[in-house]
A and B are shown apart, each in its own frame.
Chain A
């Protein structure tokens, strides 16, 4: 039986309940819906919005290191704070925030297994008060962009070298029948299909009904037996704007222990619009 390679990054709802007042721990909620945190959240948790907080308002990019440091200071997070992420939709957006925090070199990142869904299913309490923490002085000393983020030119080289790509969108998007996720907004790609050679493993297959992750054995079956990956592989994952693939990045990196996984956040909304980019259907 296989085990998660880095089980230490996952904490249970019970662990979080026991650390609500731990000054070394900051709980971060990150959701798809921008108002969900306001309807009730884990006591003491702060909100980080993937769009309003982590993305640059003008250029299609993430905020820079200085603005990340300001954000951390405002949320009362120090360089040595243990940050526990949780959120809606199987922790999809929580994984995206986790990935962004790792990109800015934040060291102690944990994920609450099962996310918001599990916390509420267990009838654990939520509050509406927004906490106010004293500002910290935060410094970004390490920028991990090269290690965990991929850009389009790198993806092109990746294809030429026949290295594995994982397309985590729905099968209909992968096949080019749909230009956007089923039930999700159209995000403006002019062409449908997938990056040549990419294997399709919809991101949500990694999660169980209750929002927690599947066992290492089940994950290995999906990503290794079916999709042909192996732990030594240099893998690029992508989706539509890089959010669903951050979830898969988390699964491959921490649960299956792959050391070289990058998230291509330009994803289909970039690739499907690029003139002459190779596309397979």
Chain B
């Protein structure tokens, strides 16, 4: 349904953008859904390892209140820039927390370059859609979900 945004409501470039973001996320979800439980965690680990390092210009800006995701067990620092209606997401997550790194990396892969509106549409049940609920366990899931809300807040405030 996301790929059929009506062009009489959105201008050409915006509808293309919404479509491509959802396609990217759908692709990631399909990849996760198409493999068995064990490989799903390996896939998440691949994403964890692909998380780009935090650019130097953010290094000194570890303002806990602004950038730290409070619901998450691991210090997660999110930095968001919005320019020309395009969102850029940067993050700093310790190597001792690969699960969290993996999720943040998926969000960056799917939503870097998206419009702020598209980020607001990140499905809150993304982890469930990725088929990770049973594997990761409900106790851990709640913390991860906090990252999605924080990303939306950061974009709303950017």
Cα separation A53 to B97 with both chains bound (whole Å): 19
**Does B71 sit within 8 A of A, measured CB to CB?**
yes
B contact face: mostly helix, strand, loop, or mixed:
helix
Q: Which residues of A contact B70 (CB under 8 A)?
A: 183
Measured CB to CB, the nearest residue on chain A to B71 is A185
Given contacts A39-B98, A88-B96, A185-B146, contact A51 B137 (CB under 8 A): yes
Q: Count of A residues near B, CB < 8 Å?
A: 19
Contact among A35, A51, A57 with B139 in the assembled complex (CB-CB below 8 Å): A51
Distance (whole angstroms) from the CB of A199 to the closest CB of chain B = 25
Contact among A39, A51, A116 with B140 in the assembled complex (CB-CB below 8 Å): A51
**Interface core residue of B73, B100, B135 (most chain A CB under 10 Å):** B73
Q: Which residues of A contact B149 (CB under 8 A)?
A: none
Cα separation A35 to B137 with both chains bound (whole Å): 13
Not counting A35-B98, A51-B136, A51-B139, a sample of 7 additional A-B residue pairs whose C-beta atoms are within 8 angstroms of each other reads A33-B74, A34-B140, A39-B95, A57-B134, A183-B70, A185-B142, A186-B71
Chain B interface residues (CB < 8 Å from chain A):
41-42, 44-45, 48, 70-75, 95-100, 102, 134-137, 139-143, 146
Could you list some 22 contacts between A and B, CB below 8 A? A33-B74, A33-B98, A33-B100, A34-B99, A34-B140, A35-B45, A35-B48, A35-B98, A36-B96, A36-B98, A38-B41, A38-B98, A39-B95, A51-B137, A51-B140, A52-B137, A183-B71, A183-B75, A184-B73, A185-B142, A185-B143, A187-B142
